[in-house]
Amino acid sequence: MSKVDVWDLKPLFKDKKTLLAQMQQTIQDSKDFEETYKGKLQNINSKDFQSVIEKYEANYQAISQIMTYSFLLFASDTSHGAFYSQCELECNKAQESLLFFELEFNSLGDTKKQEIIKSSPKYSYYLELLMQYSKFQLSLLEEKVLLKVRPAGSELFSRLFDEHFSKLKFKFDNKLLSEEEVLSLLYSKDRKIRKKASISLSKTLKDNIDLLTYILNAIRKDLKITKELRGYESLEHSRHISNQTTQKSVDCMVDTINENVKIVEEYYKIKSKILKIKNLQDYDRYAPIPSKDNTEFDYITSKTLVLETFQGFSNKFYKIAKEAFENGWIDSHPRDRKRGGAFSHGATPNAHPYLMLNHTNQRRDIFTMAHELGHTIHQKLSYSVGYLNADTPLTTAETASVFAEMLLFDKLKNQISDDEKISLYAGKLEDIFATLFRQNVFTNFERRIHNKEGELSSDEISNIWQEENQKMFGDSLKLSDNYKLWWSYIPHFIHSPFYCYAYSYGQLLVMALFGLYKQNKDDFIPKYERFLSLGGSKSPKELVEIFGFDIEDRDFWKIGIKEVKDMLDELKTIINKGKTC
């Protein structure tokens, strides 16, 4: 097994020169499609329409392949920003030629549209979604103008955010660390190191806070303008449409989580006693629980454990994960100019997904590996329904990733002593809190800042951030003034406003599904593989109904909360068992 993995982008394009040649061909192909079909959809026999959609899909897949390569090149080395921007501008020309299709389809009479949907079963759900989006579409000319100026709007500020952060260094003991490296120190066993890392992170954020505030305010303005132009009901509405969910169901979920934050507070009071720290501070949140096992999860060890986990669940999952490690699907370690964080990019069905990690040998890194490979498996399986149908809404996109984490947790807990279980359970609960409760805090925070009028100062944003975070911890932990600035390094606030509630959604869904899996594994696994293979070709409601759940039932959310409570109770039982021994 390789100690370091790097991407092989050749399945996408041999090199930049090959891409540039294909880009011009793609622009021409898109123009040809426009010339052939623009203004003529009404006259196409409904039975022949599926072949037109297939041509449309092929053009968009070609565009996506170009943008995937240029984005991954940029993510692995942000000095390629100019090339990424060039590809974006050129691909916009191809997209301009394709813009008419969805608009013209939605302008057809209802009878004609229903005939087309009936005659195009492969794309029926995709076409039904287009009909739903039609209310918020503008004229063809207006859509072309928006597409033209998009690279100079929020996307430009997103790129500025990424490039700026990739260059930032954080001073620590006369060393200059990357963002990933300084954040990893917050998980140190040594409280002094955690505190120094917290101060280092905060100092650099403070030095850059004016620019980061400006970027966030630009995103706030863009969101408001988009709402007004398209007639969305709220600033969140566009996200709910893309997530194929409703304001009511999101509010129900958010309220359920807000009502149960005492779970977090109770846990951190337990952690305070275990660590023997009377007053926990913000830099103590991720302090590891003392354990006799001080194993570091180096990359090879992490690979082995994750592959064994998937092999024990589904041979289909195992084969995909194994191929990812062996064939250049993964970029594994931090380096200069590489983007921080982790993700799995779905790429296109004629290639394969690409997974980015920044492995630093922490226990959380092995769970990140499982998480992102869950996405990779989901993306690979969904290729079976084609490019247009493969993409899933965020509400179900996190299911496979979080479920993979639970599989890994279930494997690890059965291999260790009770003493080690305390550390493992604590770590897993903290991961769940980060995915469920913390992401819900992010949603509460975004709701408040986006519903404010005018530009907000750094202090105004920071105070709202502090207030929403403190609610989650109650009196179990004190957030310092340094912590007030930590909203400014969260990329989702810039790239995808109101993205974060999907993590909470996915976590609660998975907690319920995992309980079902434990009850009847043989019955569950084929249903789950089908769920993932359907990608975005069915609605989240239909997909979840495969398991017998209704996402519009208020009690649904309570099932997931109960699973979290049960896990906390299991931790308390293990601790009390140790006291009586």
pLDDT, average across residues 384-403: 90
Q: Which amino acid is at 337?
A: R
Note the pLDDT of residue 134: 81
Beta bridge partners of 478: 281
Note the pLDDT of residue 296: 80
Give yes or no for residue 402 having a pLDDT over 60: yes
Label residue 137 by pLDDT band (50, 70, 90).
confident
Label residue 518 by pLDDT band (50, 70, 90).
confident
**Beta-sheet strand order (sheet of 354-356):** 330-331, 354-356, 343-345
pLDDT digits 0-9 by tens, 189-228: 999 999 999 999 999 999 999 999 999 999 999 999 999 9
Tell me what percent of the residues of the chain surpass a pLDDT of 90: 75
Tell me the three state secondary structure of residue 475. coil
Q: Kindly report the number of other CB atoms within 10 A of residue 477's CB atom.
A: 22
Label residue 294 by pLDDT band (50, 70, 90).
low
Note the pLDDT of residue 470: 96
pLDDT digits 0-9 by tens, 262-283: 999 999 999 999 999 999 999 9
Average pLDDT over the chain reads 93
pLDDT digits 0-9 by tens, 38-69: 999 999 999 999 999 999 999 999 999 999 99
Note the pLDDT of residue 340: 87
- All residues at 6 or more sequence positions from 293 whose CB lies less than 8 Å from its CB, including other chains: 416, 417, 419, 420, 423
Note the pLDDT of residue 580: 58
Q: Which of 306, 300, 308 is nearest to 376 (CA)?
A: 306
Q: Ranked by mean pLDDT, which of 320-329, 335-344, 503-512 comes out on top?
A: 320-329
Q: Which of 283, 275, 286 is nearest to 197 (CA)?
A: 283
299-313 vs 315-326: helix crossing angle, rounded to 10? 150
Label residue 138 by pLDDT band (50, 70, 90).
confident
Label residue 1 by pLDDT band (50, 70, 90).
low
Q: Which of 342, 355, 405 is nearest to 183 (CA)?
A: 342
Across 242-255, b (16+ Cβ under 10 Å) vs e yields bbbbeeebbebbbe
Answer positive or negative: Cα dihedral of 121, 350, 16, 154: positive
Note the pLDDT of residue 97: 97
| Contact between residue 126 and residue 388 where contact means Cβ atoms under 8 Å apart | yes
What is the C-alpha separation between 373 and 392, in angstroms, rounded?
Answer: 16
Tell me what percent of the residues of the chain surpass a pLDDT of 70: 98
Label residue 505 by pLDDT band (50, 70, 90).
confident
pLDDT digits 0-9 by tens, 339-364: 988 999 999 999 999 999 999 998 88
Beta bridge partners of 172: 175
